[in-house]
Amino acid sequence: MKKQCIIIGLGIFGMSVAKELSEQGIEVLAIDRNIKLVEKASNFVTKALCIDITTIDALQNLPIGDFDIGVIGIGEDVSVSIMAVLAMQEAGVKHVIAKAGDKLHKRVLEKLGVNEIVLPEEYVGILTAKNILKQN
């Protein structure tokens, strides 16, 4: 059975994850409130929807629990990030990955029991340092 991933938030992080997973044959449902980002993602994901998840019932009508992996690419608005995490957890998504905008956001996500938390700038900094060390 093919893996399925739902991605909420199509900024640079979410869009990059969506594109790479799609290219690797994973079924991706991409969600954002910005129609331009949704249209861009629709060129390569299985399905892209323009939804503002800040409304209480916005995610209730989606089959979120059908997805193996959930990715939350929202780092700048902690409350929306939390809402997305809770929606995925309550729907039964098995593995939730969330982007954190800063260390405090990361701590909140840890308390919520998110399976993986990504601080993109920290991660890229570590990769850059490793690449520098490989060159020497």
Q: Residue 59's pLDDT is what?
A: 77
Q: How many CA atoms lie within 13 A of 136 on its CB side?
A: 6
Distance between CA 66 and CA 6 in Å, rounded?
A: 9
* pLDDT tens digits for range 19-33: 999 999 999 999 999
pLDDT category of residue 10 using cuts at 50, 70 and 90: very high
> Which secondary structure element, helix H or strand E, spans residue 5, and what is its range?
strand 4-8
Say what the pTM is: 0.91
User: Is 59 strand, coil or helix?
Assistant: coil
CATH topology of domain 4-135: Rossmann fold (3.40.50)
Which residue ranges make up each domain of the chain?
4-135
* Beta strands per DSSP E along the chain: 4-8, 27-32, 47-50, 69-72, 95-99, 116-118
Q: pLDDT per residue over 79-136, tens digit each? A: 999 999 998 998 899 999 999 999 999 999 999 999 999 999 888 999 999 999 998 6
Count other C-beta atoms under 10 Å from residue 118's C-beta. 20
Q: Report the run of H or E that residue 84 belongs to, with start and end.
A: helix 78-91
pLDDT in tens, 34-59: 999 999 999 999 999 999 888 767 77
Question: How many Å apart are CA 85 and CA 91, to the nearest integer?
Answer: 10
d(CA 59, CA 61): 6
Q: What percent of the chain has pLDDT over 70?
A: 98
Confidence of residue 1 (pLDDT cuts 50, 70, 90): low
